[in-house]
Structure 1
Amino acid sequence: MLLDEFEAVPAVIEPSHASDAIAGIGEICDTLIFSFNGEIVNRVKWMRDVYEGGYIKSLNGKHPWYILENEGQKLAVTLAPIGAPMAVGQLEELKVMGFKNFIVLGSCGVLDKSIEADKIILPSSALRDEGTSYHYAPASDEMAYDEHLLSTMETAFEKAGIEHIRTKTWTTDAFFRETADKVKRRLAAGATVVDMEASAIMAWAQFRQATVYQFFYTADYVDHHKNEWDTRHEERTSDVMTFFDVALAIAREVGKGKEC
């Protein structure tokens, strides 16, 4: 089976090879906020005293990050590409460039209707229904984040008074193939939300010994009872910068007083 071919050896192309083309391009901070929400990044870059710190490149063009200062701590913020292969690919290059702490945020779908829209989700583990993770870890049904890092996030949430739900997520490459029966099976396996990158990022973090703090905020509902999709647009009333504030709370906890 192709998915059983994980090898813990150097690859023909390593992230360090890519660094030869981007070395010296950019100001590096200890902590990078990796946001799947483009509106958050667009609003951050127009904040007072925020400036472009650098960029990485792909065939799609430049992928910049922006530097801001929050309570004496400089942070970088960049747009994360949707989908496990590109997200992990960019994290590979950003880590080689020198970023140490990665705070990852984005929306997720809901499989359990009791979870309301705009709730903060801490994905402690993930079902591996994507392809990228199998190149970073041996085949298995699930991946998980390091418990110490999860506890650090929960400490940040408690200090900031941020309510959250710790749960398992279902990471899938094919959001147009979330059938009713699949949803039922994923619920039976303990997953209450669905996303497209978490299990791959978990596997990458373990393989590269990277420090990753990831959270979601809930969006649509995949209704397996009626076999329909509820976008829940009217229920999603929170300003997206509310979720950026959650990322800042985590940044304060993991990088107190550290600057670029």
Structure 2
Amino acid sequence: MLLEEFENTKAVIEPEDLLTVKGEIGITEICDTIIMPFSGTLFRLITEQDGVYQGGYKSNINGKHPWYIYEHKGKKVAVMKALLGGPALVGTLEELKVSGFKNFIIFGTCGVLDGDLESNKIILPTSSLRDEGISYHYAPTSEEIGYSTEHMEHFAAILDNHHIPHTQTKAWTTDAFYRETPEKVKRRMAAGAQVVDMEWASVAAWAQYRAADVYHFFYTSDYVDVDNGWDARDGHDEDNLLRFFDVALKIAEELS
């Protein structure tokens, strides 16, 4: 099987190689910690604030993807919009890490499989069912992947110390969100997943392979209801989005 070919060896092209390619990565300023929201609306709200300025960019055939420098309580963090999908996000993380970033705080929406989870609740994924492709190139084949117990305890403690309510649960990571069939959803729920996303298993595998410090959380969104049909639910208003950014800033405080 192709997805059973994990090899813990150097690749033909390594992320460091991109640093030597002119124009692919432009670095003016980096920080220890970079915060990566998926929401384009939130990214705009952050980067339009006074005092926020561009610190660099990475580039690909789609164009340039900048990061910005944001100061919070006298400390600087970088902010960059996370790209959708495991391949795009992990490729970005590879390049950011070799550029000098050390801590990665990633957050965005997840679909809900368990109707008891209301919208806009913070989810800390404990592990993920690997229904995507990237993770199999960074970790040996297995049904699930997750962070170490020590890392999970540390992550949860940060949220608890700041009195941030959250739910810890297993996720299901899939590339094919238009192929979440009713029977497949039921099987994933039977395996313990309460939420579904597109990147987390990929990111978890990358973090393990590269020994990277990643703090990845979700906020609940649409409900994948196999009995009554898809429920798009209400959107996430600006106040909620800024609240999630504040959670990311509190995590960053602890890492500094």
Superposition TM-score tier, normalisation by shorter sequence: over 0.9
Query: How far, CA to CA, are the matches of 2:28 and 2:7 in structure 1?
Result: 33
Unpaired stretches in structure 1, ≥5 consecutive residues: 256-260
Query: How far, CA to CA, are the matches of 2:32 and 2:160 in structure 1?
Result: 23
Q: Any runs of at least 4 consecutive aligned residues in structure 1 with deviations exceeding 3 A, and if so which?
A: none
Equivalent residue letter for 1:108: C
Aligned to 2:247: 246
Alignment of 1:31-180 (within 5 A): 31-180=33-182
Query: How far, CA to CA, are the matches of 2:42 and 2:28 in structure 1?
Result: 21
Q: Deviations over 1:36-79 (max 9, x none)?
A: 11111111111111100100101011100010111121100001
1:126–1:142 contact (8 Å) kept in structure 2: yes
Query: How far, CA to CA, are the matches of 2:156 and 2:212 in structure 1?
Result: 19
Query: How far, CA to CA, are the matches of 1:20 and 1:241 in structure 2?
Result: 37
2:18–2:95 contact (8 Å) kept in structure 1: yes
Equivalent residue letter for 1:19: L
Query: Of residues 195, 198, 201 in structure 2, which corresponds to 1:193?
Result: 195
Q: Deviations over 1:192-245 (max 9, x none)?
A: 00000000000000011111000000000000122x1100116x5552111101
2:25–2:58 contact (8 Å) kept in structure 1: no
Alignment of 1:196-215 (within 5 A): 196-215=198-217
Equivalent residue letter for 2:3: L
Alignment of 1:227-242 (within 5 A): 228-233=229-234, 236=236, 239-242=240-243
Instruction: Classify 1:221/1:23 alpha carbon distance in 2 versus 1 (closer, same or farther; 3 Å).
Output: closer
1:67–1:77 contact (8 Å) kept in structure 2: yes
1:143–1:199 contact (8 Å) kept in structure 2: yes
2:26–2:56 contact (8 Å) kept in structure 1: no
Query: Given the two structures, how large is their TM-score scaled by the length of structure 1?
Result: 0.94
Equivalent residue letter for 2:120: D
Query: How far, CA to CA, are the matches of 1:70 and 1:146 in structure 2?
Result: 29
Q: Deviations over 1:100-130 (max 9, x none)?
A: 0000101000000000000000011000000
Query: How far, CA to CA, are the matches of 2:158 and 2:28 in structure 1?
Result: 29
1:33–1:104 contact (8 Å) kept in structure 2: yes
Aligned to 1:258: none
Unpaired stretches in structure 2, ≥5 consecutive residues: none
Q: Which 10-residue stretch deviates more, 144-153 or 34-43?
A: 144-153
Pair 1:6-2:6 in alignment: yes
Q: Alpha-carbon deviation of 1:26?
A: 2.6
2:26–2:58 contact (8 Å) kept in structure 1: no
2:25–2:59 contact (8 Å) kept in structure 1: no
Aligned to 2:16: 16
Q: CA RMSD in A?
A: 1.3
Equivalent residue letter for 2:166: H
Query: How far, CA to CA, are the matches of 1:53 and 1:44 in structure 2?
Result: 14
Query: How far, CA to CA, are the matches of 1:219 and 1:167 in structure 2?
Result: 15
Equivalent residue letter for 2:47: K
Q: Which 10-residue stretch deviates more, 149-158 or 9-18?
A: 149-158
Q: Which 10-residue stretch deviates more, 19-28 or 241-250?
A: 19-28
2:128–2:200 contact (8 Å) kept in structure 1: yes
2:110–2:221 contact (8 Å) kept in structure 1: yes
Of all paired residues, the percent bearing the same amino acid is 55
- Look up the SS of the partner of 1:20 in the other structure: coil
